[in-house]
Structure 1
Amino acid sequence: MLKKLLFLAPIALFSYDNLLNNLKNREFDYEKNYSIENSKDLSKSWMSPVNFSYSINKTNLNPKRVSKNFSISVNQPIFKSGAIYYSIKYAKNLKNLNLINIELKKRELVKQALELAIDYKINLINKNIIKLNIKNTKIDIKKKKEAFLNGVGDSTLLNDAVLKLNSLKLNLVDIDLALFKLKKNFEKISNLDITKVNLPKLKLICKNDYVNKNLEISSERYNIKIQKDLYKMNVGNTLLSLNINGNYNIVKNSYKENLPTLDESTYNYYNIGISLNWPFNFNALNKIQKSKINYLKSRIELNDKKNELSKDYAVLLKEIKIIDQKIKIYKENIKIYDSLIASTKDAIKGGDATGLDLDIMENSQKTSLLNIKILNLQKQKILLELFYKLSISNFSVSFSNFQYYRSINLFLLI
């Protein structure tokens, strides 16, 4: 169990409290507050309003009179065969569903920002690779030019080398444009400097955690609860309901003529009672069946989502394995270059090679090392797909040994 918990520790690096700009964070805060207030509103929807009324009536008939009437009235259901209970549950579950979906939206934006930062770093490395290839191509052109001038070279090969150099230079210009675009797209989301973003170091998690502790699964589970609540509410609304009703009135009469028989009077009275209702709607059964179908469908959707996530995990795992294979190949190439560099150095001592030959070998080895860095960054992007929807609210472990402990709560499900 502890091993699984430690797999989740890198998620503490997702400090998107600072990654997203203030405007984005405020938007999400407003969405959360709206969901909370909407839930409070829905949880009270079964409560009938208390009506206050005040009226003044005048008459010019004899005797001339002014009547003032103040009343309070209410007609409140107190029992609806479970509909009230499930309407309150519905409001609570809807709030939780909305908060999960808002959290998913926020994490999607965080993932987008981190992917942009990773792509920026990959392009910077690619830029260095192109520069190394340009160095090697220039050396190749120099050697082919010397061979051609000495009458032992091929002009076609020299021309191809020159064209390759031009192509590499064009790629370098394209890389600069790509870096500019990545930077500007990042600035739409964050106020941070894209070159200084601390990228998370993620490790592979098990399939069970990815599927069952996924926020999308939590969303589907709350959807099931909501559809069940709606179904039970529709059933309850077609059955017996008990209402309490009452009103309280204050009446004040005053007369223009101040006669003994027409003295000012004030009196109050109230009415209170209960009522039983059993509504009969011709389409009630259809409403119940529709809500039941939605409830049953939501249960199928949960299993379908688990199946989708399971297949997604298999694809991502395969991509990681392919990257590991590529890294292994590049590491083997580096070992080969170690041998070639050593042989070239010996050949230089013997006069059979030049420093240019050594430069080509060393630049090619550096290229392989840089390609490994790119592959590791691409691997982090894949692992990001596994992590960003993961809920760690079910785990309890101390993260005090991690540098970004303060940010761990940001990824706890509210």
Structure 2
Amino acid sequence: MRLQRFKAFIFSLFLLCSLAATANEQILSNDRLKLFDLSSDQTKEDAAKLRKDWINPVNYKLSQTTDEKYNPLKSTVSISQPIFKSGGIFQAILYANALERYSNLDITIQKKAMIKDATELLFNIHKINYSIKKQELLIANANLDVLRKREQVLNGLSDASFLDNAILDANTKKNSYVELVYQKKELINNFNNLASSSYEKFELPHLELQENSNFIDKNLNIIQSKEDIATKDHYQFMTIAKYLPTVNFTYDYTKYHDKDNNPALEGNSVMGLNLTVPLDVRTLNDIQSKRIDYLKSKITLNTTVLEEENFYRTKLAKINMIKSKEEIAKEDFKLYTSLLDDITQAADAGLNAKADVETLANSKEIKSYDIKILELERQIELLDIYAKMEI
């Protein structure tokens, strides 16, 4: 049992290091990263402000009144500060902390989504490079087929309709090639919108499949849902405290600036405590509403866990499907290798045309590109899993 746990720990540690090193946030442009940094700073300031919301401001008032004899100018400093709010002060601080964690998780999710988008574009650019090379070979084979059909028609061995179909097939493959070239330019432009440099300067990451339990434990959406529960929990207690007794410290100081030698206009200060008990007919409705928000957040967590588990199962099924396609492509590659050896020997003996050798050689290389494309497709699916994890 200990050995299995140790192996699992080593595997997890290797995987985390691999993912952290390969899917670096530095793929994003400086402006994109700066926006996320500013959002984090703003969240920090908002949370600090929220932690201090229970502290009332000191009010300063400068006024002048008139009567029959005097026109005095006076300033007043007033303080009314709660020092006990039935637990509301403590809950307000906890609420601010929980809300800050929730907001930071939201920023992390947005950043990882953007890193994922940029990395996926990088994968797709390399994938389309292979597709373009593959299409070039398909065009080469189509041209060879046209030559072969043309020779058959000229020798009366085939109908002209077969040549026409071969020409149409070659043109279709050429049009597909033109579309692939355009799609590559489009992908590069989209990548440049996010990335800090051209795609040639980035190495493709190599991602491994995460275990389901690890995926759920480190899932950012689930972690954020848990923080949402904590936030709603503290807020409902803050709401309850709002309708409970509050003890306030009060202080008022008045100073007259223009006394006119009037002894009645001396400055004075008043200090004291008061107890406030709010009576509001909406109290129960407000408290119950916040209670419902809290219960809804707990149900949302259950729903989120279910959705993420099903997401993982769907991705796993697709990854296994791609692996099956890879195995088929590898078997085809072996078959073409064997056929190419046989056809090459036959061509050397004068039994087959050199065009047949070239066609099979191209087909073999096409299968090698199919394998590489499928490997990239599998990495893209793994990237979707990584983007949802706290790594």
TM-score tier after normalising by the smaller chain length: over 0.9
Structure 1 partner of 2:343? 344
Matched with 2:197 is 192
Contact 1:55–1:68 (CA under 8 A) maintained in structure 2: yes
Query: Which letter maps to 2:385?
Result: L
- Asked if residue 328 in structure 1 is aligned to residue 312 in structure 2, the reply is no
| Preserved CA contact (<8 Å) 1:58 1:66 | yes
> 2:116 — aligned with what?
111
Cα distance in 2, alignment partners of residues 252 and 214 from structure 1: 64
Work out whether residues 134 and 165 of structure 1, in 8 Å CA contact, stay in contact via their aligned partners in 2.
Answer: yes
Question: Structure 2: which 5+ runs fail to align?
Answer: 1-8
- Report the Cα distance in structure 2 between the residues aligned to 1:254 and 1:307, rounded to whole angstroms: 75
Of 170, 177, 182, the match for 1:177? 182
CA distance in 1, matches of 2:264, 2:280: 48
2:250 to 245, 248, 269: 245
Q: Which residue of 2 aligns with 1:53?
A: 61
Distance 2:117 2:298 in 1: 31
Secondary structure of the residue aligned to 2:146 is helix
SS of the residue aligned with 1:249? strand
- Name the SS for the 1:358 alignment partner: helix
Encode CA deviations 1:2-37: one digit per residue, 9 max, x unaligned. 212222222223554432222222222222121111
Between stretches 184-193 and 246-255, larger displacement belongs to 246-255
Cα distance in 1 between the residues matched to 2:378 and 2:44? 38
The residue type equivalent to 1:37 in the other structure is E
One-letter identity of the residue aligned with 2:15: F
Aligned to 2:302: 303
Residues 54 and 85 (structure 1 numbering): CA distance in 2 closer, same or farther, change over 3 Å?
Answer: same
Aligned residue pairs: how many?
383
* Structure 1 residue 175: Cα displacement: 0.8
Q: Is the 8 A contact 1:117 1:195 kept in 2?
A: no
Shift of 1:344: 0.8
**What is the deviation of 1:154?**
2.5
Q: Which residue of 2 aligns with 1:35?
A: 43
Paired position in structure 1 for 2:356: 357
What's the offset of the Cα at 1:66?
5.2
Q: What percentage of residue pairs aligned between the two structures are identical?
A: 29
2:3 alignment counterpart: none
* 8 Å contact from structure 1 (residues 252, 266) kept in 2: no
Residue pairs, 1:204-223, within 5 angstroms: 204-223=209-228
Question: Offset at 1:264?
Answer: 7.7
Q: CA separation of 1:263/1:94 partners in 2, compared to 1, >3 Å: closer, same or farther?
A: closer
Superposed displacement of residue 216, structure 1: 0.8
Q: Distance in 2 between matches of 1:247 and 1:292?
A: 39
Q: Does structure 1 residue 13 correspond to structure 2 residue 11?
A: no
Structure 1 Cα separation of the partners of residues 215 and 16 of structure 2: 11
Structure 1 unaligned regions, length at least 5: 256-261, 393-414
1:257-276 mapped onto 2 (5 Å cutoff): 262=261, 267-276=266-275
Give the partner amino acid of 1:8: L
Secondary structure class of the residue paired with 1:85: helix
For 1:274 and 1:281, locate their aligned partners in 2 and report how far apart those are by CA, in whole Å. Answer: 22
CA distance in 2, matches of 1:254, 1:57: 12
Q: Give TM-score, length-normalised by structure 2.
A: 0.93
The 3 A distance-change label for structure 1 pair 83 and 376 is same
Q: Is the 8 A contact 1:252 1:267 kept in 2?
A: no
SS in 1 for 2:194: coil
Quick one: which amino acid aligns to residue 234 of structure 1?
T
Structure 1 pair 143/268, CA: closer, same or farther in 2 (3 Å)?
A: same
| CA offsets 1:81-131 (integer angstroms, 9 cap, x no match) | 111111111111111111110111111111111111111111111111111
Partner AA of 2:345 in structure 1: D
Compute the displacement of 1:249 (Å): 2.3
Distance 1:244 1:263 in 2: 31
Alpha-carbon separation, structure 2, partners of 1:11 and 1:168: 38
- Alpha carbons of 1:136 and 1:195: their partners in 2 closer, same or farther (altered >3 Å)? same
**In 1: Cα distance, 2:94 partner to 2:78 partner:** 28
